[in-house]
Amino acid sequence: MYRLLIVDDEEIITDGLYEVFHRLMPEKLDICRAYSGREALQWMERTRIDIVLTDIRMPGMSGLELSQQILTYWPRCRIVFLTGYSEFDYAYQAFQMPQVRYLLKTEGYSKVTETIAEVIEEIDHSSRMSELVRQSREQTDALAYLAQSDYLRHLLHESSSLAECPESMERDFGRCQLTLDPGTPVLLALGHLFFPEGASYAAKQEIMAAVQVIWRQFLGSPARSAGTTDKHGDMVWFIQPSIYAEEKVVQHTVRYLEGTLELVQEACMESLGLPVSFTISGSPCEWRDVREQHERLRQQQQMRIGDGISMIYTDRSERQEATPVRESGRVSQKVEQMTAHLEAGREESFVELFDEVTAIMQQPDTLAQRSQETYYALALMLLSSINRWGLHSHVGDYGRLMRLDEHASLRKGVEYLRLIAERIFAVRRMDAKDRTAHVIERICQYIQDHLGDDLSLVRLAEIHYFNPSYLSRLFKQEQGINLSEYIDQCRVRKAKKLLELGDLKVRDVASAVGYEAAHSFTRFFKKSLGMTPQEYRDTLSSVGE
């Protein structure tokens, strides 16, 4: 959706045009109105404007003066002059400006709406993916981009040490052909791409390259930027105002970035069907603080992104002091109560407190540091319970309890905590015999699902958090056969099923049941059934005849 600003000092004209466009194009235009050039500039400072429909002669600030200011703030903005004056000098000045049209008020509403529709079509056309790709190929040196990306990724992790030598940084920027200034503070933007489910590595790389194309197209002359990807797979851009930008534009950079990222999001959705969320700095930071700023944006992103929602969040909060003692005490008190409920098996009371605490930590106005502290307090409570009761082999994968950064968002982290808590309560409800049977059942299922993988006793013990010797004894006790015998039985069963299909070669069947060499599989199969795999297959064929 594009944003249209209508500007005229005659209220009846402004309000009339507002009603016309509001009625005719509600799905295409978000419409704003101003009754003077000064009021129009206030809109420019607040949000991105894509099209301005303005009277050319107004008291205080003319439309021509306004248009020059508009293009300073939003250089991609299209301007349509609407006036009752047909003097040659006004028309001539208007036609000298880029992306500008000129209409007379006497031409009527139909001509105005027709012109705005044409302007929208022009904007759409310039934003189409094919045009973006073509322009990118003409303007971008791929090798230089790779060098820049590698260096910026290194900078994300080593900013404090690299910034200790400004001369060295300046040389590195020059070698990588970075247009950024190592002596000027920089804004960061963190982009999270919601890739299609099951997308391969190659497909993700293609998508990220396309997003880079879109970014470079829309982030125009008031700013300069360069991007990379961080260790979590999110895209990170470094942004500075253009060296030619006026002081008021420099102050406007964050607002310009917010408005432009809306266009980037819309282009990504239209061209790629891809939702993108952005978290951006509220103010520039020194290069030595880039790592800290990136980690801060990452924390904010984890708290706020949702599945498939195109969000733009600006981190305008000041750096906070440590969590107040009183607030920390409240969290500790609730965690102690939850621990008691967990110990006593009072699941309903536990869940009620859990929901109360996690709802507060996910509120938009909760500090990221406080939310992190609460998450780790809950995670430590659950991990302590697992260790105290020896539930390592009963609750599944609990390895991410103390790794909030491995969860896509804070909400995903909370869901993981709830899942682990539910498993702990479920296991505690079982008696010792049921727990053992449950564990052995899971091991058996894992073996059946991974016959082509490493099924050594050591590997199975690692996965299920057992001592290997204890696992061997426990399995024999519960199943009545050795673990290795059970694995062999599963391999024979699966091999027979695959051989019955008739369309797989023996070596493929061997690989599917965990044998790299076909001759080893043949010896194993003959020892188990008294015939080779081929003889078994021939027997099936003769029975069929």
Range(s) of the domain holding residue 218: 133-315
CA-to-CA distance for 220 and 209, rounded, in angstroms?
A: 18
pLDDT, tens only, 474-506? 888 888 888 889 999 999 999 999 988 877 899
Residue 179 lies in a domain: yes
Domain with residue 69: its CATH number is 3.40.50.2300
Which of 187-191, 239-243, 537-541 has the highest average model confidence (pLDDT)?
A: 187-191
pLDDT, tens only, 508-526? 999 999 888 888 899 899 9
* Per-position DSSP letters for 399-436, written without gaps between them: TTTT-GGGSSSHHHHHHHHHHHHHHHHHHHHS-HHHHH
Is residue 205 located within the same domain as residue 65? no
Q: Single out the residue in 77, 110, 127 at which a domain terminates.
A: 127
Residue 455 lies in a domain: yes
What sections of 62-165 are H helices per DSSP? 63-73, 88-95, 108-127, 129-139, 142-162
pLDDT, tens only, 367-389? 777 888 888 889 988 988 888 77
Is residue 335 located within the same domain as residue 382? yes
Domain with residue 140: its CATH number is 3.30.70.270
Is residue 44 located within the same domain as residue 88? yes
Residue 320 lies in a domain: no
Asked if pLDDT for residue 130 goes beyond 60, the answer is: no
Is residue 166 located within the same domain as residue 273? yes
In DSSP terms, which residues pair with 229 in a beta bridge? Answer: 235
Which of 64-68, 204-208, 252-256 has the highest average model confidence (pLDDT)?
A: 204-208
pTM across the whole model: 0.52
Is residue 143 located within the same domain as residue 117? no
Sheet of 276-281: strand order equals 223-229, 235-241, 187-193, 276-281, 312-315
Is residue 287 located within the same domain as residue 138? yes
* Per-residue pLDDT band at 320 (split at 50, 70, 90): very low
CA-to-CA distance for 407 and 405, rounded, in angstroms?
A: 5
CA-nearest of 223, 220, 226 to 243 is 223
| R_g over Cα of the chain | 32
Instruction: Work out the mean pLDDT of the chain and round it to a whole number.
Output: 82
Is residue 506 located within the same domain as residue 413? no
Residue 24 lies in a domain: yes
Residue 397 lies in a domain: yes
Is residue 418 located within the same domain as residue 505? no
Is residue 157 located within the same domain as residue 112? no
Can you give the length of the chain in residues?
A: 545
Domain with residue 470: its CATH number is 1.10.10.60
CA-to-CA distance for 397 and 442, rounded, in angstroms?
A: 12
Q: What is the pLDDT of residue 487?
A: 92
Is residue 393 located within the same domain as residue 503? no
Residue range 240-269: mean pLDDT, rounded? 79
Residue range 121-137: mean pLDDT, rounded? 64
pLDDT, tens only, 409-454? 888 889 999 999 998 988 877 765 676 777 788 899 999 999 988 8
Is residue 396 located within the same domain as residue 462? no
Residue 142 lies in a domain: yes
Is residue 285 located within the same domain as residue 141? yes
Q: How many domains is the chain partitioned into structurally? A: 4
CA-to-CA distance for 329 and 332, rounded, in angstroms?
A: 5
Q: Single out the residue in 376, 394, 429 at which a domain terminates.
A: 429
CA-to-CA distance for 45 and 255, rounded, in angstroms?
A: 7
Q: Single out the residue in 127, 151, 167 at which a domain terminates.
A: 127
Which position has the higher pLDDT, 2 or 331? 2
Asked if pLDDT for residue 545 goes beyond 60, the answer is: no
Percentage of the residues of the chain whose pLDDT score is greater than 70 = 85
